[in-house]
Structure 1
Amino acid sequence: MEGSHPTTTTIPSDPTIPTESSASIPDKTPYPPPNPTLLQKLRFILLKHLASAAHSTDRNLVRLSKLLSTPSGTDALLCTISYTLTLLRTLLSRLLERKLAKIATDIAEKADGILLPGETLIATLPTPASTKLIAQAVGSSKALADIIGDYRIFVRLWGMVGMYTWARSTYRDPLPVDASRKDKVLRSLTWAAIASCVGFQVLENGAYLSSKGVLTTASWTGDVGKAREDRWWLWSSRFWAAYVGVELVRLGVMRYYTSPPPTQMEEFGGDGEKEDKIRKEETLRKEQLGNWLWWKDLASNVAYAPMTFHWSMEQGLLSDWGVGACGIVAGGALLADAWRTTV
């Protein structure tokens, strides 16, 4: 019991000298957590980016599946890929030609002082690895572009069915007696577009089937058949050019007859503030969508116009570079709109 009592009852005059009771109190001061190491930081950043990439990939694959589930979406994607390959092949071909020309020039310069007049140098040189890769890329891109182009024409063989339903729905939806001038003009342009598409599709189908050896009558074989096939290709492109022209006129008419924006009284003519806000947002969305579709159609048809003239002429109009560039713009506009609908 004696050891349990303090040895003194005197309070120290110096407060810094700990007493027995104060010395027994544990130190509860919190310590800051240790800073993460550089390796831990890098691991966290890597995992964060991997999770974000996985989520983005999953979302894009779902949207791609929706895009490929529709014929128009598939065609827009293949169109863009095909003309991108055409442009890529053209650029790589030019690069390959420059490389081969440089090799030939170097050989000629080295042999200039060795060969006598009238002598000919025949040499076999190893192809540089870069030149071989470029040549392989040119061949592969051309082959893939040809496959895509052939497939796109093949799936248009039954396009006449869609044109029939287009004409049928237009015929079964007559304009009212008091229709506006804008509606009458647009209806006339619709019938002109249907007629040009029908002419294009019939001629393209005939030329395509002839090129595959399906049409074997006397008028489709031999030199006569080849000449007829070429004419049908040309005239199908001319009908396509007519359709593009009709579309450009339609866009001009729509822009000319665009309704003016509503006044403030018309815009807020609802029964309450909430209804007015909802109506305003809905009207704004419709205007934005209509404006987007107008510019999409304008971009695609303006880009298609020189291509249709190119294929409507026997000697052509554009180089492969021009065809690829115009095709990317035309297909890209359609692809952007098709991708928008997959959200």
Structure 2
Amino acid sequence: MAPQGKPAVPASINACLVRALRNSDVFVSRLALLFSTPSSTDSTLSLLAYSMILASHTLDKLLASRMELVASQIASRASKSLQPGETLVASLPVGEVLGARWARAADASERMKTARAKISDFRAFARLWGLLGLYGWAKGHWKSYPGARKPAAAEGEGEEEEGSKVNKNKYDPTANTTIRTIVWMQISACVAFQALENVGYLAQHGIIKLEPATTGKLFKWSSRGWCTHLTLELVRLWKTSQLTKQKRKDLAYSAAWEQEDDAWWKKLTTTSAWAPVALNFSVAPSYMFLNELGLGLCGGTASAVSVRELWKKSAPAV
């Protein structure tokens, strides 16, 4: 018989506790990796911000629908006691009309709007030194041309190597003149985007003195630079797919193709999802076509694809 006193903890409970602690440790470790680099931090915060846009939009719609229903009921009852030509005007807090639960929902929506504004401001601040990363991109692209700036080989060997190099790099995107030109145009568009956003951000916070109208124009033209980059990215992806089809036409199937195709589709998905967001902020406010639902869906989709890929890469080795 078991000894009297404190009952023994079943082994199954101990195993569950150990498993829960281990899973928690893995989750927190992977989450820490998501915030370990500027790019992964930006993607994670972007997903959080656009998720908040969707959540607050949903709550606002539910609240508005509920308030409209209650208002129609109040108006229906009050109309019986009103004289011809009289109008009832009432302003009541959400809590008094709909109850404490709906008041908490309204408060949660406002808090999410405040949080997403802070996240947006932090992301813009973290991009202030983004021009340094663009310099690295341009430098890497300049050095990526196969065989460029390398010493010439011996006369006989040089011709043979040159011929094999042409055949080898015929379908290489880094050696394709069209794609290389597109990338240079993308770098230029991103430099314009980042420089204009930096000035607009500093002016918005009073560090640089500019008129509010001028600051708004800076952000608009900054978004146009981003939109140009995304448009060029779609063209680059299309050209890359054409080269890939030609390269694979006379080759045997390789398992590496699946990884290449998967990366291509992910890039296409994120670019296509960001494009409406960039275009929306590139036009005057009166011409903006995305509401909060559209912004949340487009931005959330693009961010989710990026974060999902980062999350997969942070998985511990088996």
TM-score, normalised with respect to structure 1: 0.75
Instruction: Report the equivalent of 2:31.
Output: 64
Instruction: Report the equivalent of 2:216.
Output: 230
Q: Tell me the distance in 2 between the aligned counterparts of 1:76 and 1:262.
A: 39
Runs of 4 or more above 6 Å deviation: none
Q: How far 1:288 sits from its partner (Å)?
A: 3.4
Which residue identity is paired with 2:183? T
Count of residues in correspondence between the two structures: 279
Q: How far 1:119 sits from its partner (Å)?
A: 3.9
Instruction: Report the equivalent of 1:83.
Output: 50
Contact 1:76 1:338 in 2 (8 A): no
The correspondence of residues 1-343 of structure 1 with structure 2, limited to 5 A, is 46-121=13-88, 126-127=96-97, 128-176=99-147, 178=166, 180=170, 182=173, 183=175, 184-216=177-209, 220=210, 225-258=211-244, 259-260=247-248, 284=255, 286-314=256-284, 315=286, 316-343=288-315
Instruction: Report the equivalent of 2:163.
Output: none
Q: Which structure has the greater CA radius of gyration?
A: 1
SS of aligned partner of 1:257: helix
Q: 1:130–1:115: structure 2 CA closer, same or farther, 3 Å change rule?
A: same
Return 5+ residue gaps in structure 1 as ranges. Answer: 1-38, 268-282
SS of aligned partner of 2:128: coil
Q: How far 1:116 sits from its partner (Å)?
A: 2.0
Identity of aligned residues (%): 30
Instruction: Report the equivalent of 2:3.
Output: none
1:61-104 per-residue CA deviation (whole Å, 9 max, x = no partner) reads 11111221111111111010100000111111110101111221
Q: 1:288–1:59: structure 2 CA closer, same or farther, 3 Å change rule?
A: farther
SS of aligned partner of 1:247: helix
Q: Tell me the distance in 1 between the aligned counterparts of 2:186 and 2:72.
A: 54
Q: How far 1:48 sits from its partner (Å)?
A: 4.0
Q: Tell me the distance in 2 between the aligned counterparts of 1:105 and 1:215.
A: 50
TM-score, normalised with respect to structure 2: 0.81
Q: Tell me the distance in 2 between the aligned counterparts of 1:261 and 1:79.
A: 39
1:206-264 per-residue CA deviation (whole Å, 9 max, x = no partner) reads 11111111112xxx1xxxx2221111111111110110011111111121111317756
Q: 1:308–1:263: structure 2 CA closer, same or farther, 3 Å change rule?
A: closer
Q: How far 1:137 sits from its partner (Å)?
A: 1.2
